[in-house]
Amino acid sequence: MRLISTLLLLLLISLAYSSATPTRRSRKSTRIHKPCKTLVFYFHDIIYNGHNSKNATAAIVGAPAWGNHTILANKNHFGNLVVFDDPITLDNNLHSHPIGRAQGFYIYDRKEIFTAWLGFSFVFNSTQHKGTINFAGADPLMNKTRDISVIGGTGDFFMTRGVATLSTDAFEGEVYFRLRAEINLYECW
Amino acid sequence: MRLISTLLLLLLISLAYSSATPTRRSRKSTRIHKPCKTLVFYFHDIIYNGHNSKNATAAIVGAPAWGNHTILANKNHFGNLVVFDDPITLDNNLHSHPIGRAQGFYIYDRKEIFTAWLGFSFVFNSTQHKGTINFAGADPLMNKTRDISVIGGTGDFFMTRGVATLSTDAFEGEVYFRLRAEINLYECW
Amino acid sequence: MRLISTLLLLLLISLAYSSATPTRRSRKSTRIHKPCKTLVFYFHDIIYNGHNSKNATAAIVGAPAWGNHTILANKNHFGNLVVFDDPITLDNNLHSHPIGRAQGFYIYDRKEIFTAWLGFSFVFNSTQHKGTINFAGADPLMNKTRDISVIGGTGDFFMTRGVATLSTDAFEGEVYFRLRAEINLYECW
């Protein structure tokens, strides 16, 4: 009987120990990761060009020495900083009911090719979603798909992390761009 | 024998229990999360307006085609990029001893309402705190409270993540803003 | 007795097993953390100054009211926003074969001293590395070393997090800067 109670005690200690053990997330994992959540949205960017102030959702607010704030600069727009507040829709129709806003900036950052750096948020306040998803990363626009990081979130997306795959779904001249974002979240709280 | 089988049963339960313990963070959790650390600070933003170069802690450095770098633009300052280096205090008094600096930028990103996107750091080098906390996210200024992401940290805040709740504690005209930041960290290393 | 020793064995296995189980990351850990990956790179920043458009890898695109886009402003460049697309090399030679590009922006954010805020990516597409590493944080340039956050990654650096230690390896006037980046990743997937 004494042995058995000792054993029982050990068992309890083992239980207590296991629930208190810290863990290394820093270990290289070889398995294929499955997202805990996948979302697909479209957002619609209309850059102000001097003639479309009513419809414009974005504006040039920084430019290199050889540029201005009404027309995207030459050298692949290198140095243009654009602020945006774009409607987010569930399908690819600009006129669909927006379920949120994509808000932030991009900055063209290469002379030889179109490429940009993005910092922005998806801001939701609808019946479907409340909260924000925050993004940052390089956007090499000429690639069919580009991966950027989901660096955090709030509300329904509290503390989330993941990867968003962007693709240019459509564009018209240098004024209208439609982006498709497939968001794969790998940390859901 | 009956005791031993009971014990064996307990052991199996314990095994099952431990393998179900916390674990993969990619699973949707329903419990309420408790921060591993909570901090409250105030920071004080004084925007340069052409007459206050001595006291100013912030300056307009980007503007839309219809704006300039001395006065915040109309259309709810859409397109204004502001750089700041604001003192951080423990209470809401601008003249209290600063325990760090809030450094980074915000960018007004909507025509219809005051809202901004923030990228900045709290930089500490005092007896209380050494290191940095990095933030990014949408700041819909007209909301009483706004949640942004803590996307990383260094020094005392090595590898941290969390959510910061901002509120506008006071403002004077369009020159002085005082923000309260309640920082809740959910990943502490 | 044999049953009991079997039980004891099972218990030990259970202990070993449970200590390998993952767990809450939100608990303060006191052990020293070891990176899951360490990388060292150099990147080379040549700011456009009106005379070097061929070699320039960076350009001023934002400035305070007292500045312009060709020369870094006085007051320690406070308010200058610089976009860059810098070659990344494995050694400190500007002319070594670039194995990637450092793309993004920095913004001088203090009147009293040189200090900046950084948002950028390392973009790799070589045999050594494919994917991106995303960074954000304060860069107090006068410090010998400065820590910024690795806020995410894609491709080979999927979902990574960590800390990058920057140091100014060399500079010439206010045109050429060479930075050394030691990247320590603490979350590798």
The helix/strand/coil state of C49 is: coil
Mean pLDDT of A118-125: 97
Task: Tell if the CB–CB gap between A64 and C68 is shorter than 8 Å.
Answer: no
CB contact C22 to B (< 8 Å): yes
Q: What's the confidence (pLDDT) of residue B5? A: 60
Q: Which helix (H) or strand (E) holds A180?
A: strand A176-187
Quote the pLDDT of residue B23.
34
**What are the beta bridge partners of residue B86?**
B102
Note whether A157 contacts B: Cβ–Cβ < 8 A.
no
Query: Which residue from C25, C65, C119 is facing B119, i.e. has the nearest CB?
Result: C119
- Which residues of chain B are modeled with pLDDT < 70? 1-31
pLDDT at A8: 56
* Option in B28, B109, B136 nearest A134 (CB): B136
Q: Search chain C and give the residue with CA nearest A152.
A: C151
Q: Backbone phi, then psi, for A15, in 5-degree steps? A: -60, -50
State the count of interchain CB pairs (< 8 A) between A and C: 155
Helix (H, G, I), strand (E, B) or coil at B99: coil
Give all chains having 3 or more CB-to-CB distances under 8 Å with chain C.
Answer: A, B
- For C123, the enclosing helix (H) or strand (E) is strand C116-125
Does residue C10 belong to the interface with chain A, where contact is any CB pair within 8 Å?
no
Q: Are strands B100-108 and B81-89 parallel, antiparallel or unpaired?
A: antiparallel
The answer to whether B137 faces chain C, any CB pair under 8 Å, is: no
Look at residues B64, B75, B70 and name the one whose alpha carbon lies nearest to residue B115: B75
What span, in angstroms and rounded, lies between the C-alpha atoms of C188 and C136?
18
Secondary structure element (H or E) that encloses residue C81, with its range: strand C81-89
Q: Which of A31, A79, C145, A24 is nearest to B159 (CA)?
A: A24
Which H or E element spans position C15? helix C2-20
Residues A19-39 have a mean pLDDT of 61
User: A142: helix, coil or strand?
Assistant: coil
Name the burial class of residue B10, with classes exposed (0-12), middle (13-18) and buried (19+) by CB atoms within 10 angstroms of its CB: middle
Q: What is the mean pLDDT of residues A142-164?
A: 97
Inter-chain contact C78–B68, Cβ cutoff 8 Å? no
Report d(CA C185, CA A73) in Å as an integer: 37
Q: Angle formed by the axes of helices C2-20 and B2-20, to 10°?
A: 10
Residue whose structure tokens are 């927006």 = A98
How close C174 comes to chain B (CA, Å)?
Answer: 20
According to DSSP, residue A9 is labeled H
DSSP A129: -
Q: In this model, does residue A72 exceed pLDDT 70?
A: yes
The structural domains of chain B, with segments of one domain joined by +, span 29-187
What pLDDT, on the 0 to 100 scale, is given for residue B55? 94
Distance from CA of A78 to the nearest CA of C (A): 8
C138 phi, psi to nearest 5 deg: -80, 140
The CATH code for residues B29-187 is 2.40.480.10
Residue A181 has pLDDT above 50, yes or no: yes
In chain C, which stretches have pLDDT less than 70? Answer: 1-31
Q: Cβ contact (<8 Å) for C34 and A26?
A: yes
A26 to chain C, any CB pair closer than 8 A? The answer is yes
Query: What distances in angstroms separate CA C69 from CA A79, C45, C47, C60, one per listed residue?
Result: 10, 16, 11, 5
CB of B74 less than 8 A from some CB of A: no
pTM of the full structure: 0.86
More confident residue, A26 or B63: B63
Tell if the CB–CB gap between C60 and A64 is shorter than 8 Å: yes
Contacts of B150 in chain A (CB under 8 A): 152
> Is C11 an interface residue toward A (CB < 8 Å)?
yes
Q: How far is residue A82's CA from residue B28's CA, in Å, rounded to a whole number?
A: 36
Using the Cβ of B154 and the Cβ atoms of chain C, whether some distance falls under 8 Å is answered with yes
- Output Rg (C-alpha) for chain C, integer angstroms: 23
Quote the ipTM score: 0.84
Chain C neighbors of A31, CB-CB under 8 A: none
**Hey, of C11, C17, C85, which one would you mutate to test binding to chain A, going by the most A CBs within 10 A of its CB?**
C85
CA distance A116 to A169: 17
